[in-house]
Amino acid sequence: MKKKVCFLVSTIFNLGGVQRCLTIIANALIDKGYEVSIVCTDNNYKIDYNLYGLNKKTKIKFIPVSIWEKLLFCWTFILKKILEKFLFLNKFISLTNFVYCKKRFIQNKKIINYLNQNNIDVCVGIGPEYTLFLGIYKDKLNCKIIGWQHSSFEAYFEKYFKSLTYWFKNNISVLDNYIVLNDYDKKRIKEAFNYEADCIYNPKSFYSNEKSKLNNKIFITVGRFSKVKGYERLIDSFNIFNQKNKDWKLIIIGEGELKDVLQEKINNNNLNDKILLIDRTNKVKDYYLNSSIYVLSSFHEGLPMVLIEACECGLPIISYDLPVCVEQFSDCSLIIEDGDINGFADAMDKLANDKKLLKDLANKAIINSKKYDIKNIIKKWEKIL
């Protein structure tokens, strides 16, 4: 009998690369005979198996933070800010544990009981805080524990979760496995924590026999309207590009808190008819196929599902020099020094006006997409489960 595998995540039912990737992995494991459950700590989203096609055999369990925990420990928000500012305080591991995890004592007990009572064999914590939870409570759990890093090393340990770096350095060894998305992050984990992580790529989210014909003058990008995606600097680059290329458009598909900010920037640059903000759609593949170039302006990425999808549809890529882009997409991309807005605009101009280069990178994108086949990816998962 195959193992029972549980994924611990905030939610599986909203827009995002984590949700798409987790859905594909969960479905593949179920097809292999595993029992899969997903514990969601955010109950603000309704169960929607159709969002990304999650197999209905997947068991969903909501275990949110109780209102009492929220009220009783609301002040720890300030303490977390202090820990982020004064990193030396994180050497007091018990303080870090409390602020990031142990304060949710009711929720934690319910998660532990769920995992043990349902005889879960392997639990995968997605993201640093859920990895932290599994590490802290390893002795209370009867299952194998795995951490799954879904963004870059820089994003985790040099920007958003710097205050957890000390914990990882001293406690990552309690994990049975730690998964990263590219070899660069595997190397960084080894250097920083002396831990041998497992590198497993994200799988492609769909297959497409049809490829872009590259005859529509459209750039496309997909992702949440948030700071990390760098859409404001993308608009700046497109604005420069547009001075000499009036017949191209830019489509940005997503949703999020910066939508009004981005629309205002578009309005202020008189680009209303050139840059279109499109709401979340289940027809994203059609948009890829009707575009000619994918642009990635993010500040940080682990392994963007959107780049894998772009390659599957035969789109060449322009991106900043994120480690994962250099490592895995350089053959099919024009890669620009991070923050060089003018250089990004020049790359857009170059690729838009060189049909031979456009076609060459598109063919290489199609070849590149093959390494993200779920049949190959799931073998690596089975090896560590």
CA distance 331 to 336: 13
8 shares a domain with 51: yes
Pair 335, 311: CB distance under 8 Å: no
Note whether 239 and 190 are same-domain residues: no
Residues 179 and 30 occupy one common structural domain: yes
What range does the domain containing 41 cover?
4-200
Last residue within a domain, chosen from 173, 200, 227: 200
Per-residue pLDDT at 194: 96
Query: What per-residue confidence (pLDDT) applies to 175?
Result: 97
Of the candidates 309, 100, 285, which has an alpha carbon nearest to the alpha carbon of residue 202?
309
Domain boundary among 144, 173, 200: 200
Of 174, 200, 226, which residue sits at a domain end?
A: 200
3-state SS, residue 147:
strand
Number of domains in the chain: 2
CATH of the domain at 299: 3.40.50.2000
Q: Indicate whether 207 belongs to any domain.
A: no
d(CA 179, CA 81): 28
For residues 43 and 10, give the distance between their C-alpha atoms in angstroms, rounded to a whole number. Answer: 9
Residues 173 and 33 in one domain: yes
Burial readout 47-78 (b: 16 or more C-beta within 10 A, e: otherwise):
eeeebbebeeebeebebbbeeebeeebeeeee
pLDDT of residue 82: 87
Residue 330 lies in a domain: yes
Decide: residue 84, CB within 10 A, 0-12 exposed, 13-18 middle, 19+ buried.
middle
User: Which alpha helices (H) appear in 142-269, and where do they start and end?
Assistant: 153-154, 165-171, 183-193, 231-242, 259-268
Is the same domain home to 189 and 264? no
Task: Report which secondary-structure segment, H or E, holds 222.
Answer: strand 218-222
Same domain, 238 and 189: no
The whole-number pLDDT of residue 117 equals: 97
Helix (H, G, I), strand (E, B) or coil at 43: coil
pLDDT along the chain (385 residues), means of 10: 93 87 96 97 91 94 91 87 86 87 93 97 96 96 96 91 91 96 96 96 94 97 94 98 96 94 96 93 91 97 94 98 96 97 98 97 97 96 96
Q: Are residues 151 and 35 in the same domain?
A: yes
What is the model's pLDDT at position 132? Answer: 95
Strands 218-222 and 249-253 come out as: parallel
Q: How far apart are CA 291 and CA 12, in angstroms?
A: 28
CA–CA distance, 315 with 372 (Å, rounded to integer): 15
Asked whether the beta carbons of 202 and 181 are under 8 A apart, the reply is: yes
